[in-house]
Structure 1
């Protein structure tokens, strides 16, 4: 008898943080983008993978780069969002990218300050 094995493929990526949703002590979710040529496109959000402590640290970092308007090339409607300059990058593990171009089953693994590359 043959046994089927389900193997989950986990992909990793670094995505610029373009906004976040506040929660009382930190962040409830991060909105992520991706550079495509000169464009910054929306890639979806991540709302899991951090502790309360990490959440508070993320919030502290992002509060330093808050922007009055979103930096995405094509604006999206997210009434709860606090927009930020895309200076921080989230290390994300995800399963897939949907047909709409959004991350599927994403989980946060870390935050790093971006370096400018032209």
Structure 2
């Protein structure tokens, strides 16, 4: 496991959620993007759970380990889980995210979520 993975896992577990094992911020963003896309393609309703996405086969392109971890939070609303993941990403990989943001590699939903949490990837905290 990488230092990023250790920090992100610790943050997520501190929030009460398991997290898929990834090596860096890029991999974390990729997983979140796939889950977010599946959520949007399924209607993006606030009450939609991760279990509903999994049951519908909507989460594609992720490995079995990610699917197993998502299964552990099947009763959690997708939006809540994504928000927790983005918050932890912002707290443990801010510098990585700033670099990715500068190269337009951060999905819009992540930027919006961080902005709503008072974090500006341009380098300032809005809280």
Q: Please, what TM-score do these two structures have when normalized by structure 1?
A: 0.25
* Structure number with higher strand proportion: 1
Flag the structure with larger Rg: 1
Greater RCO structure (CA 8 Å; 6+ sep): 1
Q: Please, what TM-score do these two structures have when normalized by structure 2?
A: 0.23
